[in-house]
Structures are given as structure tokens and as C-alpha cells.
Amino acid sequence: MSAQREMKEKNPWHTPLTIIITVIGVIAIVALVTVAVLQNRPVPQKYKYGIVLDAGSSHTALYIYEWPAEKDNNTGRVEQKHSCKVKGKGISSYAAEPEKAGMSLTECMREAEMQVPSRRHQETPLYLGATAGMRLLNIENREASDKVFEAVEKALQGFPFSYQGARILSGQEEGAFGWVTVNYLDDRLKQGLETTGALDLGGASTQISFVPHEYDISESPSNSVAFRLYGNDYNLYTHSFLCYGKDQVLRMALAHQTRSGPVTMSDPCFHPGYSVTRNYNALYDSPCVSERKPKEAPLNFTHTGVGNFFRCQEVVKTLFNFTSCKYSRCSFNGIFQPPLQGSFGAFSAYYFVMNFLNLTDSSIPLETVKANLANYCGTPWNQIKQQHPEVKEKYLAEYCFSGTYIVTLLTEGYNFTKETFSKIKFIKEIKGSDAGWTLGYMLNLTNMIPAEAPDSPPLPHAGYVSIVTVIALLLFILFILSLRPIWPKCSKKPQIV
Ligand SMILES: Nc1ccn([C@@H]2O[C@H](COP(=O)(O)OP(=O)(O)OP(=O)(O)O)[C@@H](O)[C@H]2O)c(=O)n1
Ligand SMILES: [Ca+2]
């Protein structure tokens, strides 16, 4: 017992001096680390916002994006905070009553007012971009298209955001910004990874964009877009096919099959037992088909279904022109297309249709996709309606046609083979943000993707804190060791008596 007590008494760690040094040391370390952590802690997140309205041919959607306020110039990640689907049809459908185009946006704009904190309203940029529906209206009736824009502009200026204008995007912009969105969301641009191609299928036009392997831009300069993003150069191939969105292509298919003006038409792209009356004038009311209108057509025709995928494919193929190509290679309609490269993300109607048909899984071989479609198209219309009572009949009736069109466009049009078909991923969104051109458009207009890679701190915050802690501990230990000569009796071994 007494030996133990003596040891305790002689233990240098129990002298008042060392206890004081230790306590001060510990306090110093805690203070040092706390200051380091607090000083470099990311400040509580404040966000900035941007709003883009996608005025598509079939409908308008509003997207709100947000990003950390203190990092807006380069490093902060922009994410979709909210989206709102405008009720009713696209703005181009209001050609005869333009004010209604403006009014149609009110509900979603009110939602945006609620979603964006009011102190940020005034600085939040608001853009409207119109695509193929307005492109067609602009071709058909310039004055009507201008009136629609006037009405839309007036409506948007009535909200407290920083309105930045409404305009028609070129097909090239639509394709290129879709590609930017997909690759930005996948973090491929910042990391300089191989990029993903983008396939967008709308109601009135469709876009294909990818970075080809070796690519002679001079062959068709109008199909190329050069980007410098985060210090990397990209030569993007992009093309937009006006009239090859799924609604306009359906018009073309119907026009092709009714070119002799019959009273009843049997359509392999619609289910057996399907039958509706359609109006000739309504069918031909689009620049995509207006020239094909039969001379002496009756007012209406009966559109009946036969349900045959392979015959439907034959009809769809007649809508592509493969005969003339003045370049080294073409997709269709004499449009240059370099060899396909890498993987692709296919979104908007590609996704809606393939998702409905349960065909989004990339592991499904092309042959199986076709077999499933053949089976689906051959299913009687009554049965289809019974199986999907929740789906709008207009959508439901068209999935056989749309699925057939998608497969035909991808394989015959763009030259995907049974090997490369599996490189297509049918996607709706990436990490919570919808795939589409809107995000890329906003990133571009707000200069949010820098041309050069931004300087980043050499260490991440956690690494910095760990290193500060370790160095502080080492210094403390060193300090304690350096005191050894003044420790009373500490150089002597404790003697057991
Ligand atoms: N759940 C849904 C939603 C939409 N659609 C259809 O998908 C097509 C294209 O939709 P979208 O990509 O929204 O086209 P828009 O942007 O309106 O057209 P565009 O890009 O050509 O201007 C339309 O035929 C629409 O009827 C669908 O089949 N199922
Ligand atoms: Ca679209």
C-alpha cells in the first residue's frame, strides 16, 4: 500500500505544474480547433433562384432552380427546386386568342411567387423559351406568333421577378442546352468525363446531340456547337428535326395514309377495334402536312385501327427520306450525322412512352422491345382501355404509334443498332432535376458554367479540420516532452522500497 502511495506521489504527471500545463494545453487545443472549424465552416446556406418557362408545343412547364448564394459564379450546384405544369395546351395553340396564352401562365407564376422567398423576388431572373410549336406558328402566321409573345410578355411582367424576355429557341439551342443539362446534372462537365449524348422527343420537334469521336465540323457547320466548359473543349454535334416530334409525326403518318382522301382509313399503328371520326381540316392544319392535303377530301374520315407493329413501322419509314445525302453520312432527310458515340440519355416523350410500355430498362434487347410492341399494338382497344382506366384516352390510343415511331427513329433514323441500342437510357430526371433544355439555358444565360476550371481550396473542409487537429496534438505532445528536464524526479525511475 505504502509503495503504491509513494509511486503516486512521485509520479511527475501528478505535480501541480504538469496538471496546469496539461489543462492549459487541452484548453489551447480545443480553442485552436474550434476557431479553425468555426472560421472555415460553410456559412448557413442562403439560396438564389432562377425561373425558366418551357413553352413547348403541347404544354408549358415552369421550373424553379436554386443554388447556394455565396458560390453562384462557379462552384455551387444548381438544382431544380420546384416545377409546375401549366394547365391546358401550349402557348402556340392560343393563336386565335392570344390573351389567353398569357392568362394560362398565371397559376404557375403564383406558385413561383410562393416558392421563391419574397426578399429574393426582385433579383430572380425569369426566362421564357418557346420551342417547336411557336416555331411552326411563326412559319405559318408571323403576326399571330408575335401577338402570343406580346400577351405572354405582358402577363410575365406583372410578376415581381426580374423578367429577362421571351423568345423562340433555335433547334440548335434546344439540342445543345439539353445536352448541357444532362451532362451538368451528371457532373460530367466539371470532372471532364466522357459526355453523354442527349435525345429529346417533343410534340413538334426532336433533337439529337452528342460529342462525336472524330468529327469534321466543316462538313456541316450548322450542326456543330463549340463549348469551352470548366477548362475543357467540346465539339458538339446537334440537330433538331422540325415536324418530327411525336404529335406532328402522327399528323404526317395520318396524312400519308389519307393522301387519296378516303372516308375510312385502316391504320396499323392503332389498336384493333379503335375507331374515331377525324376532321380533314383539323388534321392538315399544320405546316408539317398542309402541302399534302388531298384536293377533294370529304369533311371527315373514320380512323380505324388494325394493330400491326411491322406494318406500322413501314408507314413510319415512309416519313423519312433516305435517298439523298450530300455528306459523308446522313441520318435522314439529307441531314449530316457523324457516327454515334458513347451513351445517351433519352428524355421527355421518349421517357413518357417507353415508361408507359415498361420498356425503359436498358437491359431489354432491341428485339424484345420490338416483340413487346408487336404484342401491345395487336391488343384490342377495348382490352387496352380496361387495363388502363386511369390513362387519358388520347394518350392511350397513341402509345402503339409512338412506341413504333421511337424505335424506328432511333434505329432507321439515327442508326442505333441492336448493340448500341442498349447505350440509350430512358430518363425523366437526374438527381431530382428534370432532363430538358431549361436548366442548360439558364446556366448559359446566367454565366453559371465558367469556361475555365475554378480554383478550389487545396483541401476539403473535413480534411482541413483533421489536419489542424493532428498538428495541434503533435505540437502539444512535443511541448510536454520538451518540459521533461524540468519535471521533478521524472528522469529517475520510481523506486520501490
Ligand atoms: N405523360 C405524358 C405527357 C406528355 N405526353 C406526350 O408527349 C409529347 C411530348 O411532350 P413534351 O416533351 O412535353 O413536348 P413539348 O415540349 O410540348 O413539345 P416540343 O418540345 O416539340 O415543343 C406530347 O405528344 C404529349 O402529348 C405523353 O405521352 N405522356
Ligand atoms: Ca420540349
Residue 67 lies in a domain: no
pLDDT beyond 60 at 9: no
Q: What is the pLDDT of residues 203-227, one digit of tens each?
A: 999 999 999 998 899 999 999 999 9
Strand partners, 95: none
The answer to whether residues 379 and 307 touch, using CB atoms and an 8 Å cutoff, is yes
Q: Take residue 372 and report the three cell numbers written for it.
A: 413487346
Q: In what order do the strands lie in the sheet with 47-55?
A: 79-85, 60-68, 47-55, 125-130, 162-168
Enumerate residues 6+ apart whose C-beta is below 8 A from 369.
Answer: 359, 407, 421
Q: Take residue 214 and report the three cell numbers written for it.
A: 472524330
Q: What is the pLDDT, as a whole number, of residue 1?
A: 46
C-alpha 76/C-alpha 65 separation (Å) is 12
C-alpha 340/C-alpha 213 separation (Å) is 8
Q: What is the pLDDT, as a whole number, of residue 369?
A: 98
Are 247 and 386 found together in one domain? yes
Ligand 1 site residues (CB inside 6 A) read 56-59, 90, 131-133, 202-205, 245-247, 348-349, 352-353, 395
Residue 225 lies in a domain: yes
Q: What is the pLDDT of residues 15-74, one digit of tens each?
A: 777 778 778 877 877 877 777 777 766 556 799 999 999 999 999 999 999 999 876 455
Cα of 75 from ligand 1 centre, angstroms = 33
Are 206 and 268 found together in one domain? yes
pTM listed for this prediction: 0.87
Residue 119 lies in a domain: no
Q: Please tell me whether 203 is known to bind a ligand.
A: yes
Are 329 and 212 found together in one domain? yes
Residue 66 lies in a domain: no
Are 36 and 175 found together in one domain? no
Are 463 and 339 found together in one domain? no
Question: 478 by DSSP, 3-state: which?
Answer: helix
Q: Please tell me whether 286 is known to bind a ligand.
A: no
Catalytic residue numbers, as ranges = 174
Q: Which CATH number fits the domain that encloses residue 382?
A: 3.30.420.150
Residue 107 lies in a domain: no
User: How many domains does the structure of the chain reveal?
Assistant: 2
Strand partners, 201: 206, 348
C-alpha 391/C-alpha 381 separation (Å) is 13
Residue 273 lies in a domain: yes
Are 423 and 305 found together in one domain? yes
- Probe target for ligand 1 pocket from 83, 177, 249, 348, with the most ligand atoms within 8 Å of CB: 348
**Residues spanned by the domain of 337:** 171-437
Give the mean pLDDT of the chain.
92
- Report in angstroms the alpha-carbon separations of 88 from 64, 94, 157, 282: 20, 10, 21, 18
Q: What is the 3-state secondary structure (H, E, C) of 162-181?
A: EEEEEEECCHHHHHHHHHHH
Are 284 and 340 found together in one domain? yes
Q: Within 13 Å of residue 297, how many CA atoms lie on the same side as its CB?
A: 24
pLDDT beyond 50 at 434: yes
Residue nearest atom 14 in ligand 1 by C-alpha distance = 202
Q: What is the pLDDT, as a whole number, of residue 53?
A: 99
> What percent of the chain is modeled with pLDDT above 90?
78
Residue 254 lies in a domain: yes
| Backbone phi, psi, residue 275, to 5° | -155, 120
Enumerate residues 6+ apart whose C-beta is below 8 A from 30.
Answer: none
Residue 211 lies in a domain: yes
Are 358 and 270 found together in one domain? yes
C-alpha 196/C-alpha 209 separation (Å) is 9
Instruction: Place 497 in a pLDDT band, splitting at 50, 70 and 90.
Output: very low
- Identify which of 69-73, 245-249, 470-474 has the greatest average pLDDT: 245-249
Are 291 and 403 found together in one domain? yes
Are 477 and 425 found together in one domain? no
For cell 389519307, the residue is 258
Chain center to CA of 26: 52
Strand partners, 371: none
- DSSP letter for each residue of 369-393: HHHHHHHHHHS-HHHHHHH-TTS-H
Enumerate residues 6+ apart whose C-beta is below 8 A from 33.
Answer: 465, 468, 469, 472
Cα of 378 from ligand 1 centre, angstroms = 24
Q: Please tell me whether 387 is known to bind a ligand.
A: no
